[in-house]
């Protein structure tokens, strides 16, 4: 079992490429960085548990049901029936070509962000599990969650549960300084750190700070530096190249000690950008959980993530076999 800890939100998006101001309906999806990862794992066949808090109203119940639908363990989702309990929301307008996606967050005071460290009994939650996964978004939600993550990491360490962390910096939630302070405290616990050029720079002050168009070599040396400086056994990075507006190059590296493993490179045509990074994490975890070698892991993660860009919605609805198929070949003929 892999345990993820974070917020799941309701996402509301105008259909197609309509702008917010043109919407008279919203498509809805449920998602969040950590639960997206859990869904991806479950879809690929690796057991995954989501730890979070949801309001005990139809929106929160719908969110829990959706996670359950995709095969995620929802036993440690607490349904919050206190007055004022609310589900975190985000509104997302899908960008296209030169027009970037636009996000309006409405997640303040959500049931999850109001939760206390004492709400989570990590000894029970992590019992008989092998991995604990979180991203930088969870501690960004406030002191309480910062402490909850800390406690989770300590307990995981004690129980021999390995820990992965995706830096996932969100400037809307905290400053670079706050993020840096908090995340550096977790690094000693982390067995696998996931970043890209942007978050490595924003949170750790390393590398040149480009989120895209960073040369692969730079990413590799940044990863190696992070691994060395913070003694993180594995550091993975994705490298995005912006050939054109909605077409990107996509590649990934995994650094183990001084060794860097490099995935195939893909040309993305982006149907959905959200959840791409989360499924990258899932791909890595899926490989590591099953004890696969680093080259396989980074290839799987890159392929999984490449394919996620073709699936509408936050959740990764793809099998492991599909990703393995892509690694071997990129033909696109329908199978009849």
Task: Output 154 or 171, the one with its CB closest to its own copies.
Answer: 171
- Beta carbon of residue 102, minimum distance to its own copies (angstroms, whole number): 7
Nearest approach in angstroms of CB 156 to its own copies is: 27
Contact (CB, 8 A) for 226 and 232: yes
Q: Taking each helix axis as running N to C, give the angle between helix 176-186 and helix 197-204, from 0 to 180 degrees, rounded to the nearest 10.
A: 90
Residue 181 CB contacts under 8 Å (≥ 6 apart), including other chains: none
Shortest reach from residue 34's CB to its own copies, in Å: 15
Rounded least distance, CB 6 to its own copies, Å? 15
Q: How far apart are CA 304 and CA 321, in angstroms?
A: 10
CA distances from 29 to 13, 57, 70, 112, 288 (A): 8, 16, 13, 18, 29
Q: How many CB atoms are located within 10 Å of the residue 190 CB? A: 22
83 or 291: CB nearest its own copies: 83
Q: Are 318 and 43 in contact (CB under 8 A)?
A: yes
Pairing of strands 266-269, 162-166: unpaired
* 182/136 Cα distance (integer angstroms): 9
Q: Known catalytic residues?
A: 278
């Amino acid at each position: 079992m892999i345990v993820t800890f974070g917020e799941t939100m309701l996402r509301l998006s105008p259909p197609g490429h309509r702008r917010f101001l043109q919407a008279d309906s919203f498509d809805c999806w449920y998602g969040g960085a950590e639960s997206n990862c859990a869904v991806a794992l479950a879809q690929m066949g690796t057991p995954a548990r989501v730890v979070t808090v949801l309001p005990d109203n139809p929106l929160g119940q719908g969110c829990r049901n959706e996670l359950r639908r995709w095969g995620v363990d929802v036993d440690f989702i607490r349904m919050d029936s206190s007055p004022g309990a609310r589900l975190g929301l985000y509104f997302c307008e899908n960008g296209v070509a030169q027009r970037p996606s636009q996000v309006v967050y409405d997640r303040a005071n959500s049931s999850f962000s109001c939760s206390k460290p004492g709400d989570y009994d990590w000894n029970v939650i992590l019992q008989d599990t092998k991995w604990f996964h979180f991203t930088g978004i969870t501690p960004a939600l406030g002191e309480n969650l910062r402490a909850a993550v800390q406690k989770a990491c300590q307990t995981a360490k004690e129980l021999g549960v390995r820990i992965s962390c995706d830096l996932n910096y969100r400037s809307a939630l905290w400053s670079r300084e706050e993020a840096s302070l908090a995340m550096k405290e977790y690094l000693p616990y982390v067995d696998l750190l996931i970043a890209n050029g942007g978050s490595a720079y924003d949170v750790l002050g390393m590398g040149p700070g480009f989120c895209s168009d960073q040369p692969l070599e730079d990413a590799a040396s940044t990863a190696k530096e992070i691994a060395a400086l913070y003694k993180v056994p594995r550091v993975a990075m994705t490298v995005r190249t912006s050939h054109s507006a909605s077409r990107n190059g996509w590649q990934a590296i995994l650094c183990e000690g001084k060794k860097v493993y490099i995935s195939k490179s893909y040309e993305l045509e982006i149907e959905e950008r959200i959840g791409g990074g989360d499924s990258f994490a899932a791909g890595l975890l899926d490989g590591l959980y099953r004890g696969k070698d680093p080259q396989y892991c980074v290839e799987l993660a890159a392929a999984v993530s490449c394919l996620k860009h073709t699936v509408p919605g936050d959740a990764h609805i793809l099998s492991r076999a599909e990703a393995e198929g892509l690694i071997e070949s990129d033909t696109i003929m329908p199978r009849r």
